[in-house]
Structure formats: C-alpha cells, structure tokens
Amino acid sequence: MSVIIKTVNTSTNELPHYATAGAAGMDIRANLENTITLAPLERILIPTGIFMEIPAGYEVQIRPRSGLALKNGITCLNTPGTIDSDYRGELKVLLINLSSETQTIKHNDRIAQLIVASVIQASLLQVNEINDTERGAGGFGHTGA
C-alpha cells in the first residue's frame, strides 16, 4: 500500500526517501545555516525545512536513528513524536545528547527517521466500571519482565 504525502522542501537537502525496498522509515536531515554543538544532556529542536500535507487517517512519526544513537549517543526526545494530519508547520526534531562528550550536528546530517502510520480515532464511552482481567491493574514490570 502506498500513500501520497504532498511535501514542500525549503532546504537544500534531498527529500526524505526509503533507502531500501524493505525500509520502514525515511531518513530526515538537518536544515542548518551553522553547525550546532550539543553538550552532554543538552537538547535542541532541529529544523528540517520539510512541510507536509498528511492525509486524514494517517500520522507521521519521528523516531531516532539507531546509528546516531549508537555512535554518538544522540537520540530523539518525545519518541515517537507524532505529526498530526492537520499540522502544516515545519517538521522539527527534538534531539538530546546522552553521551558524555560534546557532539556536533551539521547541515544535511541525517538526524531522525520518519514513519508513516495509519490512525484510528476512538470514541470514549464513560461508564462506572470496567471488566476485570487476570492481570488487573498490574503494570510497570508487574509481569516480571
């Protein structure tokens, strides 16, 4: 299945695309005038120059790049970040440096990946009680894992 997303690219970077036939995500690149230095535990919002018209019934998720996390200790906060279908602003990526060393981000660096996902909206029905299960209210490691 393929979905068309109208995209405006105001950067000099190539448009995000799938690198291989089996890829789930498209790399997105930094759109910077100057190199950014990111101190340990510092977070910053990185512009991409990308604007999208996401069709109703879909979202775009922003997720970390595994190589950037492994090699540089840089990951995305608020992961996965959700871009709603009615948002028309620039896509920006919230990065954090979890390493013990200062890291740099340059124009055109691959900083995150985009995942297109379908969305189902639910209707909530207020009731006085819900059915119990064997698990019940156990959470946050309750099953031992």
What residues have CB less than 8 Å from 38, skipping those under 6 apart? 44, 74, 95, 96, 97, 102, 103, 104, 105
Distance CA(10)–CA(2), nearest Å, equals 24
Of residues 140, 114, 145, the one with CA closest to residue 17: 114
Among 1-5, 13-17, 45-49, 57-61, the minimum mean pLDDT is found in 1-5
Considering the domain 6-118, what is its CATH architecture?
Distorted Sandwich (2.70)
Q: What is the pLDDT of residues 65-123, one digit of tens each?
A: 999 999 999 999 999 999 999 999 999 999 999 999 999 999 999 999 999 999 999 99
* pLDDT confidence bin for 141, thresholds 50/70/90: confident
| pLDDT of res. 1 | 77
| DSSP-derived secondary structure for 4-28 | --EEEE-SSSPPP-BSSTT-S-EEE
**What tens digit of pLDDT does each residue of 36-64 get?**
999 999 999 999 999 999 999 999 999 99
Helices H / strands E in the chain, number of each: 1, 10
Question: Would you state the pLDDT for residue 139?
Answer: 79
Res. 144 pLDDT band, cuts 50 70 90: low
